[in-house]
Amino acid sequence: MTKVQDSGSERAKSGHLTPISKPAIDVHDGVPLLDSGVNFVGEQVSYPKGKARIKSMLATMAPGQKTGWHKHGV
Protein backbone atom coordinates (compact mmCIF):
# COMPACT_ATOMS: atom_id res chain seq x y z
CA MET A 1 0.00 0.00 0.00
CA THR A 2 1.32 3.45 -0.91
CA LYS A 3 1.31 5.94 1.93
CA VAL A 4 0.10 9.42 0.99
CA GLN A 5 -0.02 12.76 2.75
CA ASP A 6 -3.12 14.98 2.77
CA SER A 7 -1.94 18.57 2.75
CA GLY A 8 -5.48 19.91 3.05
CA SER A 9 -5.11 21.58 -0.34
CA GLU A 10 -7.75 21.53 -3.06
CA ARG A 11 -5.53 19.05 -4.89
CA ALA A 12 -5.62 16.67 -1.91
CA LYS A 13 -9.36 17.15 -1.45
CA SER A 14 -9.94 16.25 -5.12
CA GLY A 15 -8.33 12.84 -4.59
CA HIS A 16 -4.94 13.71 -6.08
CA LEU A 17 -2.71 12.83 -3.15
CA THR A 18 1.04 13.15 -2.82
CA PRO A 19 2.98 9.95 -1.95
CA ILE A 20 5.30 10.19 1.05
CA SER A 21 8.34 8.07 1.79
CA LYS A 22 7.40 7.00 5.32
CA PRO A 23 4.38 7.15 7.62
CA ALA A 24 4.11 10.11 10.00
CA ILE A 25 4.06 7.74 13.00
CA ASP A 26 5.40 4.23 13.43
CA VAL A 27 2.46 2.08 14.51
CA HIS A 28 4.89 -0.53 15.80
CA ASP A 29 5.72 1.84 18.68
CA GLY A 30 2.13 1.67 19.95
CA VAL A 31 0.89 -0.20 23.01
CA PRO A 32 -1.36 -3.17 22.14
CA LEU A 33 -4.68 -2.97 23.99
CA LEU A 34 -6.65 -5.81 22.42
CA ASP A 35 -6.05 -8.70 20.02
CA SER A 36 -8.98 -11.09 20.14
CA GLY A 37 -11.66 -12.96 18.27
CA VAL A 38 -14.27 -12.72 21.04
CA ASN A 39 -16.50 -9.89 22.27
CA PHE A 40 -16.75 -8.46 25.81
CA VAL A 41 -18.95 -11.33 27.04
CA GLY A 42 -16.69 -14.01 25.59
CA GLU A 43 -18.77 -14.85 22.50
CA GLN A 44 -16.91 -15.60 19.28
CA VAL A 45 -17.14 -12.74 16.76
CA SER A 46 -17.95 -14.04 13.30
CA TYR A 47 -17.80 -12.68 9.77
CA PRO A 48 -19.65 -14.16 6.77
CA LYS A 49 -16.27 -15.34 5.44
CA GLY A 50 -12.96 -15.81 7.20
CA LYS A 51 -11.94 -15.71 10.84
CA ALA A 52 -12.76 -12.57 12.86
CA ARG A 53 -9.92 -10.73 14.59
CA ILE A 54 -10.30 -7.50 16.54
CA LYS A 55 -7.17 -5.46 17.23
CA SER A 56 -6.76 -2.19 19.11
CA MET A 57 -3.60 -0.19 19.80
CA LEU A 58 -2.77 3.01 21.67
CA ALA A 59 -0.38 5.28 19.77
CA THR A 60 1.09 8.34 21.50
CA MET A 61 1.73 11.35 19.30
CA ALA A 62 3.62 14.58 19.94
CA PRO A 63 1.67 17.88 19.90
CA GLY A 64 1.02 18.81 16.27
CA GLN A 65 2.08 15.41 14.94
CA LYS A 66 -0.18 13.97 12.25
CA THR A 67 -1.00 10.41 11.29
CA GLY A 68 -0.61 11.10 7.59
CA TRP A 69 -3.20 10.06 5.03
CA HIS A 70 -3.99 6.39 5.49
CA LYS A 71 -6.83 3.89 5.49
CA HIS A 72 -7.78 0.78 7.40
CA GLY A 73 -8.63 -2.36 5.44
CA VAL A 74 -11.73 -4.31 6.36
Q: How far apart are CA 21 and CA 66, in angstroms?
A: 15
Q: How far apart are CA 69 and CA 6, in angstroms?
A: 5
| pLDDT of res. 43 | 92
**Residue 33 located in a structural domain:** yes
Q: How far apart are CA 36 and CA 63, in angstroms?
A: 31
**Residue 1 located in a structural domain:** no
pLDDT in tens, the chain (74 residues): 444 444 455 554 555 555 555 555 555 567 888 899 998 899 999 888 888 888 888 888 888 888 778 787 76
Total domains, the chain: 1
pTM over 0.75, yes/no: no
**Residue 64 located in a structural domain:** no
Q: Can you give the residue range of the structural domain that contains 53? A: 22-59
Beta-sheet strands, E only, within 1-74? 4-5, 18-19, 31-36, 54-58
